[in-house]
A and B are shown apart, each in its own frame.
Chain A
Amino acid sequence: MRLLRSSSLRFFALVFAVQLVLAGSLLLFVRYVIADELERSSQALAEALRDDFVADWREEGTAGLRKLIPSRLASLGAHDAAVLFDDPDGNHLAGNIADWPPPVAFRSGWQVYTLYRMGRATPERIGIVTTSLPDGSHLLVGHVIERDLHIRRLTGEALVAALSLTIPLALLGAVVATRVVTSRVERIAETARAVAQGELSRRVPVEDETGDAFAELAGAINLMLGRIEALVSELRMVTDSLAHDLRSPLTRLRATVERAMRETGDEAALGALERVSAEAETLLAMLTTALEISRAEAGIGRDRLIDTDLGRMIEDLVEMYGPLAEERGFSLQAEGSARAPVHRELLGQAIANLVDNAMKYGRPGGAIGLTVTAEEGAVAIRVEDDGPGIPADRREEALRRFGRLDPARSVSGAGLGLSLAAAVARLHGGTITLGDRAPGLAVTLRLPA
């Protein structure tokens, strides 16, 4: 959930940033194109005027050009043009600029300077081109670009304004995009969670047939879920019929033994038959427990969680096991109280198994404690003994089905006790932990309250 939220946040930031960068670079490009176009047209005008003057000089000579320039300036309206015609010694011959500006070379390309024109009180930004005529005289032709600069400034301001308008739009876009994506991802995640919780029939809803990537993903996931459901129900069928098929011969076996016990008078034979019966009983118990584990793992029985007084439950168990514990020299105690919705039979069976284990592996003459504590949104049921415990590296093995840590099998049992407790914990959406009491084993079932 948190992962999903943080990745939605990242997605949101990404969409927002991409939109902003796109809009920003688009606006900057437009501004560049406008500015470039303005400058180029000013330069073209200046160059055209210069070429005209150079052509006039060729035809009419220095004196002719000197006369021509003022009339030309007058006919141009003289609003934007700047002209200076100097003889080789730098003396002013004609034009509306008083003096050759010191930093401007005699032969150079388009340059922009701040210059005074004659009769003007303020300096102006002027783009200029210069050229030297064959006789050594110099010609400077320029175009005032104050207006261009103004337009440039305007486009800059427009850019900032447009960008500030883009931010809320990009935010809105990012919100919408994120919402669309996360809601669909969330629906898939929600389905996956429900299935993991045991609702195997849940599917990702596919409302449109557009066949977009999400619909395709949902389809693929649904296909997988269908396959999982089929496998689980197949497995359930196999275990159920296996149980049935094993129980029928066991029923007959038991019937035969029962009849034989009734008919024989031989004490030795009776003893043997009793052992056979006991073995059959063990086999049956294992079968039943293995089946309960499979069903708990598959989430069957989740609908039977009932609000239960767990303190009462462990007290009952202590009452049940008390005489046996006493006989074996253990002291058995229950403590604490809490309520939680639980599957009474399965949880009872699981705790009974843990108590049984504690009596099998605990230190003879030691104490066995059952405690129930309410925690934040959970209850903890703890069964503790003061026996040798289980080394940390072997605890996982102990929780596995048929996992037995006692290679000599000196103590009877199927090794299903802990794994049933683990399966029951999972059925409730809880956990089981094996801890060290140094010395002793502490098994804690933590179930959601």
Chain B
Amino acid sequence: MTHKILLIEDDPQTAAYVAKGLVEEGMTVDQAATGRDGLFHATDGGYDAIILDRMLPGMDGMAVLGALRAGGIHTPVLMLSALAAVDDRVAGLTAGSDDYLTKPFAFAELLARLRLMLRRGGGGAQPTTRLGCGDLEMDLLSRKVRRGQRAIDLQPREFRLLEYLLRHKEQVVTRTMLLEGVWDYHFDPGTNVIDVHVSRLRRKIDDGEAAPLIHTVRGAGYRLAVDS
């Protein structure tokens, strides 16, 4: 299924870069460079998601979002903004956006968040008691993890980290997404804390195995997948 995305962004270079990336991922992208244009396209409907820059000439992102929601259009909106302070993010989310990504962002993160949003928009995650990837299995009820014949003993936080990776398998998961999804931290704790946690988990999962499952994606984050 091809997703139809509306991109409202005034910076031509950023817009071109994002549009190109999305098209490469097999999506259809419409672009608008001003808030008014964007609103016009959005009310036309038919989009699966909207990527909305917050600071736009003429009518800014918040106003566009307000007008959309007031007009009864509930297309998921991913807000892009250079305003990165905690309170700005909160303001953006409470104004009705479904996610908030601050500039500069890694494309991988934009894609990961967009995918997450699209899936949520499509009925939400299936209730499940078992997650798996390759020969890795996780039972959410008994809280047991196995890889092949080997039982893996995980600390509670390691369990949640692996669960998050499993729920987003085959996708790039950024450090920020892990911070928010696993630790519920909406601030940067600095240095490479996340990497340390992931490398501990990786030792338990992949050490001694022929095919590693947790992959580092340079400059972006991590990916849990069977391939290399």
Contacts and interface: CB of A to CB of B under 8 A. Distances in A.
B55 interface: yes
Tell me which of A240, A251, A284, A324 has the highest count of chain B C-beta atoms within 10 A of its own C-beta.
A251
Contacts of B188: 285, 288, 349, 352
Contacts of B82: 243-244, 246-248, 251
Contact of A324 (B90, B106, B191): B191
A166 B185 CA distance: 70
Given A261-B218, A317-B189, A348-B185, 20 more contacts: A240-B83, A244-B55, A244-B82, A248-B11, A251-B103, A251-B105, A255-B17, A273-B219, A274-B219, A285-B190, A300-B87, A304-B87, A320-B189, A323-B197, A343-B86, A345-B186, A348-B187, A348-B189, A352-B188, A359-B191
Contact of B187 (A255, A273, A280, A349): A349
11 contacts: A240-B83, A251-B82, A251-B104, A258-B220, A261-B218, A288-B188, A301-B86, A317-B189, A320-B193, A321-B189, A324-B196
The interface residues of chain A, by DSSP majority, are classed as: helix
A267 B55 CA distance: 38
- Please list the 7 inter-chain residue pairs (A to B) with the smallest Cβ-Cβ separation, ordered nearest first: A247-B82, A251-B104, A244-B82, A349-B187, A250-B104, A254-B104, A247-B103
Interface of A: 240, 243-244, 246-248, 250-255, 257-259, 261, 270, 273-274, 277, 280, 284-285, 288, 291-292, 295, 300-301, 304, 316-317, 319-321, 323-324, 327, 343, 345-346, 348-349, 352-353, 356, 359
Contacts of B220: 258
Nearest to B198: A323
Given A254-B104, A257-B219, A327 B196 contact: yes
Contact of B192 (A240, A295, A324, A348): A324
A25 to B, nearest CB: 65
Given A323-B197, A324-B193, A250 B103 contact: yes
Given A248-B103, A288-B84, A352 B189 contact: yes
A449 B84 CA distance: 28
Interface residues of B, number: 36
Contacts of A359: 191
A288 B192 CA distance: 17
Contacts of A252: 11, 13-14, 17, 104
Nearest to B107: A258
Contacts, number: 111
Interface string B21-63: 0000000000000000000000000000000000100000000
B107 A292 contact: no
Interface of B: 11, 13-14, 17, 55, 82-87, 90, 102-108, 157, 183, 185-193, 196-197, 200, 218-220
Contacts of B218: 261, 270, 274
Contact of A248 (B14, B90, B190): B14
A280 B86 contact: no
Contacts of A284: 104
Contacts of B186: 345
Given A288-B188, A352-B190, A356-B191, A255 B107 contact: yes
Given A323-B200, A352-B189, A244 B83 contact: yes
A251 B191 CA distance: 21
B85 A291 contact: yes
B178 to A, nearest CB: 11
A292 B219 contact: no
A346 to B, nearest CB: 6
Contact of A295 (B87, B103, B197): B87
Nearest to B14: A251
A247 B84 contact: yes
Nearest to A349: B187
Contact of B193 (A292, A321, A346, A353): A321
Contact of B85 (A295, A316, A320, A323): A295
A353 B14 CA distance: 32
Contact of B86 (A247, A319, A345): A345
A356 B193 CA distance: 10
B187 A352 contact: yes
B190 A356 contact: yes
A343 B219 CA distance: 31
A292 B187 CA distance: 11
Contacts of B189: 317, 320-321, 348-349, 352, 356
B24 to A, nearest CB: 10
Nearest to A277: B219
Nearest to A316: B183
A387 to B, nearest CB: 17
B69 to A, nearest CB: 22
B104 A346 contact: no
A327 to B, nearest CB: 6
Contacts of A323: 193, 196-197, 200
Nearest to A296: B85
Tell me which of B55, B185, B186 has the highest count of chain A C-beta atoms within 10 A of its own C-beta.
B185
A243 B103 CA distance: 10
B84 to A, nearest CB: 5
Contacts of A321: 189, 193
A247 B14 CA distance: 11
Contacts of A244: 55, 82-83
Contact of A261 (B11, B13, B196, B219): B219
Nearest to A284: B104
Nearest to B197: A323
Nearest to B185: A348
A359 B193 CA distance: 12
